[in-house]
Structure 1
Amino acid sequence: MTLELNTLYNSDCIEGMEKLEDKSIDMILCDLPYGTTNCKWDEIIPFDQLWEQYKRIIKDNGAIVLTASQPFTTKLISSNMSWFRYEWIWKKGRHTTGFQNAKRMPLKNHENICVFYKKLPTYNPQGIIPLVKVRKSSRRKGGDLLGKGLTKEYTTTHTNYPRSILDYSRDKKTFHPTQKPLTLFEYLIKTYTNRGDLVLDNCMGSCTTALAADNTKRKWIGFELEQEYCNKGIERINTNREQLGLSQASVRTINDLLEGGYENDSTNHTR
């Protein structure tokens, strides 16, 4: 089964991803449930099922970029150590939590962004500045302590390469309790994909990934189980798409595709 692009599916994410073709996704960008609240939508997705689908649908050189916060971060990384590569730190501007425990531990104003991949993915470092004069340097590879080893010449053509801390304040208008900044997700999408690539968010929530993909000229597919967030999310998506001069996106279900009944039923779906 082929799912439609630029479409939000009101579906369980595992069931939805099972319908995606092998190695069809250029990037997975997702704000997974952390399991830190008692909310139904915050239940941790079983890692074995999650990685079974992620590994199947991501291209060999695709990046899987997942937001996290301790203790969920440790659980997430441990669930696939062989693919984990590094993390970014999202500094939430001035937003700070943990005041109830301020006498016991430091206040918190960051989350983790974990990067997984099988093979080196697209990497477009953002904000780099070309050097007026190219710099060359020689460095030893191995055997430095003994003064031995091969010498390799490096050429530096740019400066201002990204560092691991990304400082982005939360968006002022939000409707989802864990909504991430639009500019942060635009940054990540531009870093790990090129124009025209396909981005998957299997837990759409506020649908920030869809907006970020539209704004950066990427394609997207999303899954969201909660009907309330589908309704609010598609409205947000289409308001943004209208401003960009793009056609309206739709909310669909997997059953719509199986039954072929979507075109004749406009009452149960938001166009």
Structure 2
Amino acid sequence: MDQHSMQNGRTDWRNRIYCEDALHGLARIPDGAIDLIVADPPYGLGKDYGNDSDKLDADAYLRWMQHWVDAALPKLKPSGSLYIFLTWRYAPEIFVMLKQRMTMMNEIIWDRRVPSMGGSTRSFSSVHDTIGFFVRQKGYYFDLDAIRIPYDAETKKARSRSIFVGSKWLELGYNPKDVWSVSRLHREHRERADHPTQKPLEIVERMVKASCPPGGVVLDPFMGSGTTAVAARRCGRDYVGFELNTEYCEIIEQRLAALGGDACGYGQTALAL
């Protein structure tokens, strides 16, 4: 597809996973077409993703982060948002870089519920990931009601006084806080695919429901095992993404196929090599 056709209403880039570098592939997507970016880039910790994508030194890593951010952000609508998974080692520098381009709404702490076994003997054990929530402008899309956490029956009963009757917050639940306690996907977890840093569906679905309208499009520049695509389809949204590792692309195709063609709405073009 050439640049001219992309900028004239073509939508055949939707619901596709491209097995290529996002820095090259983002040109396939028209500017201002994406509602939400969910990014889980390499953390700069030397993880093995079947390539050298996580083996940069600190300066090169931060330059690379800025490079892909500057390529991805023009794809967002004015009402769009970005969630980015990071490690505490680089979050401060990356947050400063992003705050020069967007408005930061939250620093979310993902408590991975790591068991209290072993760990460092010369520092406190790291048991969390950092997530940045950024928006393009004041009128960003955010659906709080879609992600409220229901109160249990005991709490509702304790709020039975007349001043609470009919209160929306009591009926629908409370606003999720900025610490998300969700178990990491251990080796035997039913969601687990063959990927070293797979994120739980519970976390990504919360992002999608809150920050992408129904029928909207979620972009993931680093698809990995495809959790963002699966979350989008389960939530009635479209997706587009990029992944360098062809083995991970096959895992994504299998996970999407397991949802059923009618249920997730993707066709023969879901995977693009």
TM over 0.5: yes
Q: Distance in 1 between matches of 2:143 and 2:107?
A: 16
Question: 2:234 matched to which residue of 1?
Answer: 215
Residues 67-115 of structure 1, C-alpha deviations (whole Å, 9 max, x = no match): 1112121232122223233211111124568x441x2222222111101
TM-score by length of 2: 0.76
CA contact (8 A) 2:15 2:266 kept: no
Taking only aligned residues, the RMSD between alpha carbons, in angstroms, comes to: 2.5
Q: How many angstroms does 1:129 deviate by? A: 5.9
Larger Cα Rg: Structure 1 or Structure 2? 1
Instruction: Map residues 126-205 of structure 1 onto 2, 5 A cutoff.
Output: 126-127=147-148, 157-158=168-169, 160-171=174-185, 172=189, 173-205=192-224
1:13 is matched with which residue: 9, 14, 22? 22
Kindly tell me the number of residue pairs found equivalent between the two proteins: 231
2:94 is matched with which residue: 38, 58, 76? 76
Q: 1:49 to 1:106 in 2, by over 3 A?
A: same
Q: 1:100 to 1:242 in 2, by over 3 A?
A: same
CA contact (8 A) 2:199 2:227 kept: yes
Q: Which letter maps to 2:201?
A: L
Residues 170-220 of structure 1, C-alpha deviations (whole Å, 9 max, x = no match): 231231101000111111110111210100001000100000001000000
Question: 1:87 matched to which residue of 2?
Answer: 107
Q: Is it true that 1:230 corresponds to 2:249 in the alignment?
A: yes
1:25 is matched with which residue: 23, 30, 34? 34
2:271 is matched with which residue: 251, 255, 260? 251
Question: 2:155 matched to which residue of 1?
Answer: none
Helix, strand or coil: the match of 1:230? Answer: helix
Q: 1:113 to 1:96 in 2, by over 3 A?
A: farther
Q: Which letter maps to 2:247?
A: E
User: Per residue, is there more helix in 1 or in 2?
Assistant: 2
Q: How many angstroms does 1:19 deviate by? A: 2.0
TM-score by length of 1: 0.77
CA contact (8 A) 2:42 2:53 kept: yes
Residues 135-157 of structure 1, C-alpha deviations (whole Å, 9 max, x = no match): 8xxxxxxxxxxxxxxxxxxxx85
Structure 1 unaligned runs (5+)? 136-155, 254-271
CA contact (8 A) 1:202 1:224 kept: yes
Helix, strand or coil: the match of 1:66? Answer: strand
Question: 1:139 matched to which residue of 2?
Answer: none
Q: Distance in 2 between matches of 1:13 and 1:95?
A: 35
Helix, strand or coil: the match of 1:65? Answer: strand
Q: 1:185 to 1:157 in 2, by over 3 A?
A: same
Structure 2 unaligned runs (5+)? 1-5, 56-60, 152-158
Q: Distance in 2 between matches of 1:210 and 1:116?
A: 20
User: Per residue, is there more strand in 1 or in 2?
Assistant: 1
Mean CA deviation greater in 124-133 or 52-61: 124-133
CA contact (8 A) 2:193 2:251 kept: no
Q: Distance in 1 between matches of 2:132 and 2:177?
A: 14
